[in-house]
């Protein structure tokens, strides 16, 4: 039987997910790091623009925890953005670039990385599920 997560766990999870995307955004703005999403497009301008969007989304995931007067739309769309970005990271890191080197024992390394990405996706979904469902219900 699954236990309902505690508000303290949700609080920490939101902060960690926000911090992850802030870091990913900084990597894009600075054109460094090894994020597969930035490698996929091989454009410094695109990396900087996407980095700014991801950075802002990470901040907008954290701010509502401490400041409740932020318009709900900012938080909703930032959470949807990070969910989409993480799915794209999985596609590019694990399938576009990752599957090329899965011969022999490297298959286990690929599987481990894929599972890490899915674990993060489940955390991102937990944080952004309310926002995603609110947009889906409006349609």
State which residues form the domain around 34: 7-130
pLDDT at 131 over 70: yes
Close Cβ partners of 139 (under 8 Å, ≥ 6 residues apart):
none
Quick check: is 87 in a domain? yes
Q: How far apart are CA 34 and CA 79, in angstroms?
A: 23
- pLDDT of residue 6 exceeding 70, the answer is no
Mean pLDDT confidence for 1-7: 55
User: Helices 44-66 and 7-30 sit at what angle, rounded to 10 degrees?
Assistant: 160
Is residue 136 in some structural domain? no
Q: Are the C-beta atoms of residues 85 and 21 closer than 8 Å to each other?
A: yes
Element (H, E) at 91: none
32 located within any domain? yes
**Residue 9: predicted pLDDT:** 63
Structure tokens at 66: 């401490």
Characterize 115-129 residue by residue with b for buried, 16 or more Cβ atoms within 10 angstroms of its Cβ, and e for exposed: eebeebeebbeebbe
Of the listed ranges 20-29, 53-62, 75-84, 104-113, the one predicted with least confidence: 104-113
* Range of lowest pLDDT (20-29, 79-88, 106-115): 106-115
The tally of domains found in the chain comes to 1
Entry pTM = 0.83
pLDDT tens profile 49-103: 999 999 999 999 999 888 888 888 888 899 999 999 999 989 988 888 777 767 7
Q: Is residue 135 part of a domain?
A: no
Give the burial string for 87-107 (b: 16+ CB within 10 Å, else e): eebbbbbbeeebeeeeeeeee
| Token code pair at residue 68 | 């409740």
Indicate the pLDDT class of residue 118, thresholds 50, 70 and 90. Answer: very high
Q: How far is CA 90 from the centre of its chain?
A: 10
- Whether 123 is in a domain gets the answer yes
Residue 1 lies in a domain: no
């Amino acid at each position: 039987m699954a236990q309902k997560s505690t508000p303290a766990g949700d609080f920490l999870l939101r902060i960690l997910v926000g911090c992850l995307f802030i870091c990913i955004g900084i990597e894009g703005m600075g054109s460094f790091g090894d994020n597969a999403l930035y490698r996929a497009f091989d454009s410094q301008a695109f990396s900087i623009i996407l980095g700014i969007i991801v950075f802002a989304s990470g901040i907008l995931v954290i701010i509502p925890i401490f400041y409740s007067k932020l318009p709900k739309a900012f938080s909703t769309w930032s959470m949807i953005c990070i969910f989409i970005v993480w799915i794209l990271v999985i596609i590019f890191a694990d399938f576009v670039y990752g599957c090329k080197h899965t011969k022999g024992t490297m298959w286990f390394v690929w599987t481990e990385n894929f599972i890490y990405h899915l674990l993060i996706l489940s955390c991102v979904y937990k944080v952004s599920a309310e926002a995603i469902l609110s947009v889906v219900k409006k349609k």
